[in-house]
Amino acid sequence: MTHGQESEKGDRQAQSGHTALRRRWWIVLAAVCLLAVGAYFYFTAGVKSPQAKQTVVRSSPVVTAVAKKGDVSIYVVGLGSVTPIATVTVKSRVDGELMTVLFKEGQMVSSGQLLAQIDPRPYEAQVTQASGQLVRDQALLDNARLDLKRYQTLFEQDSVAKQQLDTQAALVRQDEGIVKFDQGQLDNAKLQVTYSRITAPVSGRIGLRLVDPGNIVHASDANGLAVITQLQPIAVVFPIPEDNVPAVLAKMKSGGRIQVDAFNRDQSQKLSTGYLLTADNQIDPNTGTVKLKAVFENKDNALFPGQFVNARLLLDIKRNTTTVPAAALQRSPQGTFVFIVKSDKTASMHPVRVGPGEADIVSIEEGLTPGDVVVVEGAERLRDGSKVELPAQGQGDNASQKRRSK
């Protein structure tokens, strides 16, 4: 091997050594980078993990209420309709010309008030005629009685026959019958005059006029002159489920009036307060309900015939029971429960047995005691043992007022 070849071989070996050394440096650099990245993620994860733990135990804002001891009214509710106690079609009881109409459409009228006048002159003439006939027949009766007294005297003197006395006595009785008949005719004629004055049979509101003055009306007319609907008092007929019938009947038998309140359709306004009058005598097999009838004084005419109302019958009052807002109740497949806020500001699930309720308040028969603080808003974010954050006193009160207003 020549000197030049040896020199070339040495250069190649040196070059390969440099290449290997450079490759090892790249490997070391890559390892250092991997270690740096791993250390970064390790330390950042170590720093963030306490924050993650803090998010798990972070407090949830809630609104609370205190369980109280009080009275809860037990109601039976039904959708009913307002029904007038009496609806009367005003008709004429005699035939004749309608002279005057003395009422205004929609007017409130009183029983006995004059509403219209039929031409009374034909019936007044009949009164005069019947009166004259009565006077004539009364005179004949008086004369027959005088003759009877004479015959009685003569008979006692044995001056007339017994048959003649009996005939005269029969004539007197005949004249007495005629006089009675004439008196009946006179009374009937006077009654026709009275019937020519059409008066209101009941107190109430009169409807639209059906006949105008000047028309000839008859007692046989179907429509009549107008319709009067009694508004004071007025009734509400409403159904209740048959399951509530025994309790209602037992309450009726105990004596005293059962209060019934009438509310508008959305139950946002109480229209009137009355009392239960009676119950129907059978259950409707199609609906499984029984109709009840309540009476209301309706002095302010808040109830109108045909109006739909929500009738609420006060069945009983549960006294000195634990009450909470209905919003506090939560439901699960295991049953009904509430979240109680303990002194350490943690929420604890408590199963409860719910009793009757009134509006947005319910009674709790088991599971709570007066003074327990329950969650009424924000319960959907809670679990058993969750930390809770209570709002300021004013904010909590405002939230409760908003909930009650809803």
Convert the pLDDT of each residue in 230-280 to its tens digit: 999 999 999 999 999 998 998 888 888 899 999 998 888 999 999 999 999
What is the total count of domains within the chain? 1
CATH at residue 337 = 2.40.420.20
With respect to residue 48, please indicate whether it lies within any of the assigned structural domains: no
With respect to residue 64, please indicate whether it lies within any of the assigned structural domains: yes
Give the whole-angstrom CA distance, residue 368 versus residue 337.
10
115 — pLDDT class (breaks 50, 70, 90): very high
- Determine which of 19-28, 123-132, 137-146, 348-357 has the lowest per-residue pLDDT on average: 19-28
With respect to residue 152, please indicate whether it lies within any of the assigned structural domains: no
28 — pLDDT class (breaks 50, 70, 90): low
Q: Is 234 exposed, middle or buried (0-12, 13-18, 19+ CB in 10 A)?
A: buried
CB 209 within 8 A of CB 100: no
Nearest to 311 by CA among 83, 84, 85, 80: 80
pLDDT digits (tens, 9 = 90+) for 47-103: 444 444 444 457 788 888 898 988 888 888 999 999 999 999 999 999 999 999 999
Note the pLDDT of residue 393.
54
Note the pLDDT of residue 109.
95
With respect to residue 256, please indicate whether it lies within any of the assigned structural domains: no
Q: Is 362 exposed, middle or buried (0-12, 13-18, 19+ CB in 10 A)?
A: buried
- The domain in which residue 397 lies consists of 60-70+319-405
With respect to residue 391, please indicate whether it lies within any of the assigned structural domains: yes
With respect to residue 380, please indicate whether it lies within any of the assigned structural domains: yes
44 — pLDDT class (breaks 50, 70, 90): low
Note the pLDDT of residue 61.
87
Give the whole-angstrom CA distance, residue 182 versus residue 235.
47
- The average pLDDT across 105-114 equals 94
pLDDT digits (tens, 9 = 90+) for 196-205: 999 999 999 9
Biggest alpha carbon–alpha carbon distance for the chain: 213
CB 281 within 8 A of CB 293: no
With respect to residue 326, please indicate whether it lies within any of the assigned structural domains: yes
Sheet holding 108-109, edge to edge: 87-90, 226-229, 204-206, 108-109
pTM of the model: 0.64
Q: Give bridge partners of residue 238 from the DSSP assignment.
A: 292
With respect to residue 134, please indicate whether it lies within any of the assigned structural domains: no
